A and B are shown apart, each in its own frame.
Chain A
Amino acid sequence: MTLASLDRPRGGSVSAARSRRRRIALQKWGPAYVLVLPAMVLILAMMVYPLVQTVVFSFSTVQLPLLTPVFAGLKIFAAVAADPDTLPIALRTLGWIAGTVVIRFVLGFVGALLFNARVRGTVWLRVLVIIPWTLPSVVAANLWRWMLQGDIGVVDQTLRAVGLGALATDWLGDPTFALWAVMLTYSWQGFPFVMLLLLAGLQGIGQDQYEAAALDGARWYQTFRHITLPSLRGLIAIALVLEVVSSINSFDTIMIMTGGGPANATLTFGINIYRTGFSLFDFGKASALSVLLFVAALVVFVVHGTLSRRVARAHGEQSL
C-alpha cells in the first residue's frame, strides 16, 4: 500500500489512477486468484473455520444434538487437568511415541545399512521387507490381531508346538503385553519407510569418500562415524520428525487391535479424543483435548526447528 502510494501519478484525478491501477492489477493477477481459489476455499472452510470452532468449543460446554456451545471459560481445561486419567494417558502416549520411534528408527537404519551393502541376492529380500509398509493399516492391524490371538493364534500355536506352551498367553488381552504387542505391529508396518528414506540417503553418499578413507586405513566404525552419519544427518532429522508426527497420529492400529483396552493399557491421547468425542459425546472436552494435543505437536515442531537451526549453525551450514 505504501509503496503504491509513492508512485502516484502527478497530474490527473487520484481516483481515476487508482481504478486504472486496480484494472491493471486485476489483469495481471486475476488469473492467479482464480487458479488458487479452490485451495483458498478449502483452507477457509476446512482449516480456519474448524480451528476457530474447536477453540470456541474448548471453552464451552457443548449441548447436543445441535452442538450449541455455551461459554464456560476455563472450566473444561480445569476439568481435564483435574481428571485422574489425564496424566497416565499423557505418559502412556509419550511412552508410545518414544517406543515406536526408536523401534522403527533402529530397524529402518539397520535395514538401510544392510541393503546398502549391495550383497548379491538381497534385492528380492528388500522387496519383501517393504511389503508391510504398503499394506493398509487396517490390514496390518487385523493380521497381527489374528496372529496374537490367545490359544488359536499362530504365535501361541508355535510356542506350544516347540514346547514353550507355558509362554502362550492372550497377548492383546493381557494389560502387561498389549501395549508392546500394538507397538510391535505399528513398528513392523512403519520401519520400511525409514529404511527407504535412509537408503536413498546412503546411496547418495559419494563412493570416493569411502575410498579415500580406506586408503587412509580407516576402520569401518570410523567411516561410519565420520562419513556415513554426518552425510545422513539431515535425512535422519527428517525421518525422526516424520516418525514422531506419524506416531502422534497413530490411531488405526490401536483402535482395531485393542480399542484402548484392556483396562486402558493401550489408551493413548488420540484414542482418548475419539472416545471422549464419539463414544461419550462430550465435545467440549474432546475439543479441549484436541487443542492440547495440537499445542504439544506445535511445541515439538518449534523445538525441532530451533534445535536443527542451532545444530546447522554450529556446523556452519544452512538450516534445512
Chain B
Amino acid sequence: MTAVSLPAARSPRSRRRSRAARRAPVYVLVYAGALLLAAFSFLPVLWAISTAFTKTENLYSTPPQWVPSPVTFEHFSAVLGNPQILRGLLNTVVISVATTVVAIVVGLLGAYGFSRYRFPGRNTLLVSVLFTQLFPRVVVIVPFFITLRHLNLMNTRQGLVLVYLMAVFPIAIFLMKGFFDNIPREIEEAAIMDGASLPRMLLQVVIPMCRPALVAVAMYSFILAWNEFLFALVFTQGADLRPLSVALGFYIDQNGIQWGELMAASLLMSLPAVVVFIAAQRLLIRGLSEGAVKG
C-alpha cells in the first residue's frame, strides 16, 4: 500500500527531507511562539535585575535604560545594611527552618502511622487531614487569629510556625504516605524480628529509605514558609517579628519607595525559591498532581 502507490521511485532520504521541508514553517511558528511567551515571562524579571544594578538617578530615564551604565551595587549594600531587612531575613530563616523541621516530623510519623496501621478512626482522620486543604487561605485568617489569641501565640514566631504547619502538614503526610504505600514492608518486618523497637526502626530503617520524599517535603515546606505573605501580615505586628515578605510588601521610607533597593532585596529574597524550583520542577509537579488526583 505504501511503497507502490508513491509517485516514482523516491529514495527514503529525499522523502524524509521533503517532510522536513514541509514542516519547517511549523517549526518557525512554534519557535516564534515560544520566544514570545518567554519574552512575556522573562522581560519583567530582566527589568528587576536591571533596576537593582542601576543608579537611582538613571532609573527614570526615557527611553528606559535596560543595560545599567554604570553598574552599581549601591542598592545591594543599602539593603544589606538595612537593619529592618536583616531582621526580616533572620525571622524568615528561623520560621522557615522551624516549619520545615516540624513538618517533617509530623508528616513522617503521621504518614507511617496511616500507611502501616489500620486502626479504628483511621479513615475519619485521613479525611480530616485532607479537609484542612479545602479551606481557602483568606477564609482561615479570622479563625486562626481567634485561635492564636486564645493560645496566646499572637505576634510570636511559634504562632506563625503553627499556622504554616497547618498549610504544610497535610501535603507532607500525603506525599510520604504515598511513598510508604509503595515500599514493601518486608525490610521493616525483618527489623522487628531482629528486635528493633519502633523508634529505632524509624530512625535506622524507614528514614534512610524515604529520603526522596523527605527532601520533597522539606523543599515544599521551606519555600512555602519563605514566600508566605498573608499569614505573616495578619499574625505579626511590628518590625521585630515581621518576616522578609512583609518587610518587602511595605518597603517604603520617608522619601517614598526606593525602587532600586526594593528590586535588589527582591532578587535576594527570590534566590532560594528559584533555585529549589528549577532543581525540583519535575518532582514537585508530580507530587502536586498526584495529591490532586487522590484528593
Residue from the set A47, A132, A277, A283 with the largest chain B CB neighbour count within 10 Å:
A47
- Choose, from A6-14, A73-81, A108-116, A170-178, the stretch at the interface: A108-116
Which residues in B have their C-beta under 8 angstroms from that of A263? Answer: none
Q: Is the CB of A131 within 8 A of B274?
A: yes
The distance from the CB of B192 to the nearest CB of chain A, in whole angstroms, is 11
Out of B44, B117, B132, B248, name the residue touching A32 (CB < 8 Å): B117
Out of B109, B117, B142, name the residue touching A277 (CB < 8 Å): B142
Check: B71 CB closer than 8 A to any chain A CB. Answer: no
- Choose, from B7-15, B59-67, B73-81, B208-216, the stretch at the interface: B59-67
Which residues in B have their C-beta under 8 angstroms from that of A45? Answer: 147, 151
Which residues in B have their C-beta under 8 angstroms from that of A158? Answer: 63-64
Check: B141 CB closer than 8 A to any chain A CB. Answer: yes
B:157-192 near A, CB below 8 Å = 162-163, 165-166, 169, 173
Out of A28, A46, A128, A142, name the residue touching B163 (CB < 8 Å): A46
Q: Is the CB of A238 within 8 A of B149?
A: no
Residue of B nearest to A32 (CB): B117
Q: Is the CB of B136 within 8 A of A245?
A: yes
A235-B34 CB under 8 A given contacts A35-B109, A53-B143, A251-B138: no
A235-B289 CB under 8 A given contacts A139-B248, A157-B64, A249-B137: yes
CA distance A219 to B77 in the complex (A): 59
The distance from the CB of B251 to the nearest CB of chain A, in whole angstroms, is 7
Check: A293 CB closer than 8 A to any chain B CB. Answer: yes
Check: A40 CB closer than 8 A to any chain B CB. Answer: yes
- Choose, from A84-92, A146-154, A223-231, the stretch at the interface: A146-154
The distance from the CB of B101 to the nearest CB of chain A, in whole angstroms, is 13
Q: Is the CB of B132 within 8 A of A36?
A: no
Q: Is the CB of B142 within 8 A of A115?
A: no
- Choose, from A16-24, A119-127, A205-213, the stretch at the interface: A119-127
CA distance A51 to B135 in the complex (A): 10
Residue from the set A28, A46, A286, A294 with the largest chain B CB neighbour count within 10 Å:
A46
Q: Is the CB of B274 within 8 A of A135?
A: yes
Q: Is the CB of B37 within 8 A of A137?
A: no
Q: Is the CB of B269 within 8 A of A293?
A: no
CA distance A301 to B26 in the complex (A): 40
How many chain-A residues does the 8 Å CB contact rule pick out?
Answer: 94
Q: Is the CB of B245 within 8 A of A138?
A: yes
B:274-290 near A, CB below 8 Å = 274, 276-278, 281-282, 285-286, 288-289
Q: Is the CB of A238 within 8 A of B41?
A: no
Out of A129, A143, A256, A273, name the residue touching B47 (CB < 8 Å): A143
Out of A33, A152, A196, name the residue touching B59 (CB < 8 Å): A152
CA distance A37 to B106 in the complex (A): 9
Q: Is the CB of B138 within 8 A of A33?
A: no
Residue of A nearest to B259 (CB): A146
Out of B34, B105, B144, B289, name the residue touching A50 (CB < 8 Å): B144
Main SS at interface, chain A: helix
Q: Is the CB of B31 within 8 A of A136?
A: no
Which residues in B have their C-beta under 8 angstroms from that of A264? Answer: none
A293-B139 CB under 8 A given contacts A134-B273, A136-B269: yes
0/1 per residue, B90-113, Cβ < 8 Å to A? 000000000000000110011011
Check: A96 CB closer than 8 A to any chain B CB. Answer: no
0/1 per residue, A155-168, Cβ < 8 Å to B? 00110110000000
Check: B198 CB closer than 8 A to any chain A CB. Answer: yes
0/1 per residue, A33-44, Cβ < 8 Å to B? 111111110110
A238-B292 CB under 8 A given contacts A36-B125, A119-B30, A131-B274: yes
Q: Is the CB of B34 within 8 A of A114?
A: yes
Q: Is the CB of B278 within 8 A of A127?
A: yes
CA distance A142 to B62 in the complex (A): 21
Check: B239 CB closer than 8 A to any chain A CB. Answer: no
Which residues in A have their C-beta under 8 angstroms from that of B33? Answer: 110, 114
Q: Is the CB of B34 within 8 A of A115?
A: yes
Q: Is the CB of B143 within 8 A of A51?
A: yes
Check: A312 CB closer than 8 A to any chain B CB. Answer: no
CA distance A248 to B227 in the complex (A): 18
A130-B277 CB under 8 A given contacts A47-B131, A50-B146, A114-B30: yes
5 residue pairs, one from A and one from B, having the closest CB atoms? A35-B113, A50-B143, A161-B63, A32-B117, A270-B138
Given contacts A34-B109, A136-B269, A273-B141, 16 further A-B contacts (CB under 8 A): A29-B120, A32-B113, A38-B106, A39-B110, A43-B129, A110-B37, A125-B37, A126-B34, A138-B245, A142-B266, A143-B44, A143-B263, A144-B44, A255-B229, A278-B141, A283-B145
A-B pairs with beta carbons under 8 Å apart, 7 shown: A39-B109, A43-B132, A143-B45, A192-B41, A248-B136, A278-B234, A297-B139
Residues of chain A touching chain B, judged by Cβ–Cβ distance below 8 Å, are 28-29, 31-40, 42-43, 45-47, 49-51, 53-54, 57, 67, 107, 110-111, 114-115, 117, 119, 121-122, 125-139, 141-144, 146-147, 151-152, 154, 157-158, 160-161, 188, 192, 196-197, 200, 234-235, 238, 241-242, 245, 248-249, 251-252, 255-256, 269-270, 273-274, 277-278, 283, 286-287, 290, 293-294, 297-298, 301, 320
